[in-house]
Amino acid sequence: MVQVIPKASAKKESGIKKILPWFSFLLVFIVIFLYLITNNKFNNTEILLGEVRQEISAGQSQRYKDVEQDILTFKAKIDDIAGLLENRKKLSSFFSFLEVFVHPNVYFTSLELDMNNSQAKLGGISNDFVSLGQQILAFEKDRFIEDAELESVKLEGGEIQFFIQIYLPSDKTDEKDSR
Amino acid sequence: MKYSIIIIAISVTISIILGLFLLKPKYEELNDLQSQLRQKNIELENQNKYAQLLFSIERSLEEKRDLVTKINSALPADPDIPSLLNFLKESTADQTGMSLLDVSWQEISLSREGRKERFKEYSLRLQLSGSYVAFKNFLYVLERSSRLINVIHSEFSMPTEENEPIFFDVILKVYSY
């Protein structure tokens, strides 16, 4: 039927426009839901962290601390001994050296050995200056001795009484000993 | 239509406010806590490894008890001068044939200012008599003793008469904690 006066046709709303408010609601719920998940995870992590902290402090028991202290003390002791042994000079090796290097015409009668300053003062008797010179030369040539100096000479009863100052390299005594 | 727009605007605003003032700070706190947890886990792991190492060292020290005893006697916790004197007396008279005539001692580390060592040093002055060979043997005994003894000074001269003993003046250094 043809209408003389046409009715205004009802405008149809698009589907998207109808859904949008619901989507906006959904967005609010999503944010709340995410917050709840995050909060739950946070609480769980907090509990876990507490447990780990407890485990750490439980691990540091008195026995653990005692053993640690004992080992550290022992290590310090080994370090101390190593340092002392490193600087140790063996006196006996000096005598062994002297016995080998005594000239047949020279007799040693006194010895003053100072290992702290790596010095020795040898007193002795010789029949002639040549032997004494050879003795000093023999000392000087050896690696065991850094330097040898004739300190004083006295002629008494046809004999030459002398003192020789010997300078030892601070680390040579042990080196020679190990040879 | 009008209501829809209002609803959307309110919802989006609420979402933004919740996201910014509730979710974001919580998420950051969670991240922070998780990084703390990771750190603590690493700490726990290292502590366990360290404890294992400590206990294995303790076991190996127990197995090497002899070595530990030697090290402890080289640098004892106590100066124990009487037992040192007894050792010197035995090593002179009984082992080497030397005679110990006089002995005096003092703590030298006390007199040193600004000392760095953890241990104390003692100086012992010995006056001995005997033959040259006996003296050399005495030195060997000292150098091989379990207690760390350093001979730092020695002085002697030959006697005027042939059968007289030689007198030796010796300074030793010993150490203790």
pLDDT of residue A170: 67
Which residues of chain A have a CB within 8 Å of the CB of B37?
45, 48-49, 52
Interface contact flag, B30 A53, Cβ < 8 Å: no
- Asked whether residue A171 carries a pLDDT value surpassing 80, the answer given is no
| Residuewise pLDDT in 10s, chain B (177 residues) | 678 889 899 999 999 999 999 999 999 999 999 999 999 999 999 999 999 999 999 999 999 999 888 888 888 888 888 888 888 888 777 788 888 899 999 888 765 666 567 888 999 999 999 988 899 889 888 888 889 999 999 999 888 777 788 999 999 999 988
- Asked whether residue A26 carries a pLDDT value surpassing 70, the answer given is yes
The pTM assigned to this predicted structure is: 0.69
How many CB contacts within 8 angstroms connect chain A with chain B?
A: 146
Which residues of chain B have a CB within 8 Å of the CB of A112?
154-155
The interaxial angle of helices A62-86 and B24-63, nearest 10 deg, is 60
Interface contact flag, A24 B15, Cβ < 8 Å: yes
Interface contact flag, B156 A41, Cβ < 8 Å: no
pLDDT of residue B170: 94
The alpha-carbon gap from B110 to the nearest alpha carbon of chain A, in Å, equals: 18
- Is residue B126 within 8 Å of residue B98, measured between CB atoms? no
Edge to edge, the sheet with strand A106-114 lists: A147-156, A159-167, A119-126, A106-114, B149-157, B166-176, B120-130, B99-107
What does R_g of chain A's alpha carbons equal in angstroms? 49
pLDDT of residue A172: 47
In chain B, DSSP assigns E strands to 99-107, 120-130, 149-157, 166-176
Candidate from A49, A60, A116 with C-beta closest to B40:
A49
The alpha-carbon gap from A99 to the nearest alpha carbon of chain B, in Å, equals: 11
- Asked whether residue A89 carries a pLDDT value surpassing 70, the answer given is yes
> How many Å apart are CA A85 and CA A80, to the nearest integer?
9
Q: Rounded to whole angstroms, what are the CA distances from B36 to A46, A119, B23, B39, B42?
A: 10, 63, 20, 5, 10
- C-beta contacts of B51-54 below 8 A and 24+ residues apart: B51/A59, B51/A64, B54/A64, B54/A67, B54/A68, B54/A71
Interface contact flag, A59 B119, Cβ < 8 Å: no
Interface contact flag, B47 A59, Cβ < 8 Å: yes
- Is residue B135 within 8 Å of residue B151, measured between CB atoms? no
pLDDT of residue A178: 47
Position B105: which residue type?
A: W
Interface contact flag, A35 B150, Cβ < 8 Å: no
> How many Å apart are CA B31 and CA A141, to the nearest integer?
76
pLDDT grade for A173, boundaries at 50, 70 and 90: very low
Interface contact flag, A49 B18, Cβ < 8 Å: no
pLDDT of residue B62: 92
pLDDT of residue A115: 86
Which residue in this structure is represented by tokens 């300190």?
A: A151
- Asked whether residue A100 carries a pLDDT value surpassing 50, the answer given is yes
Q: Which of A19-23, A67-71, B60-64, B89-93 has the lowest mean pLDDT?
A: B89-93
pLDDT of residue A176: 46
> How many Å apart are CA A45 and CA B144, to the nearest integer?
62
Looking at this predicted complex, what is its ipTM? 0.73
Which range, A25-34, A135-144, B62-71, has the best average confidence (pLDDT)? Answer: A25-34
Strand partners, A155: A160
> How many Å apart are CA A153 and CA A129, to the nearest integer?
10
> How many Å apart are CA B156 and CA A139, to the nearest integer?
20
pLDDT grade for A61, boundaries at 50, 70 and 90: confident
The alpha-carbon gap from B78 to the nearest alpha carbon of chain A, in Å, equals: 13
Give the DSSP H/E element, type plus range, for residue B98.
none
User: In the structure encoding, which two tokens stand for residue A98, read together?
Assistant: 């002297």
> How many Å apart are CA A81 and CA A75, to the nearest integer?
10
Give the sign of the dihedral formed by CA B23, CA B25, CA B28, CA B32.
negative
- Mean residue pLDDT across chain A: 85
Cβ density class B102-130: b for 16+ within 10 Å, e for less: ebebeeeeeeeeeeeeebebbbbebebbb
Candidate from A35, A56, A123 with C-beta closest to B23:
A35
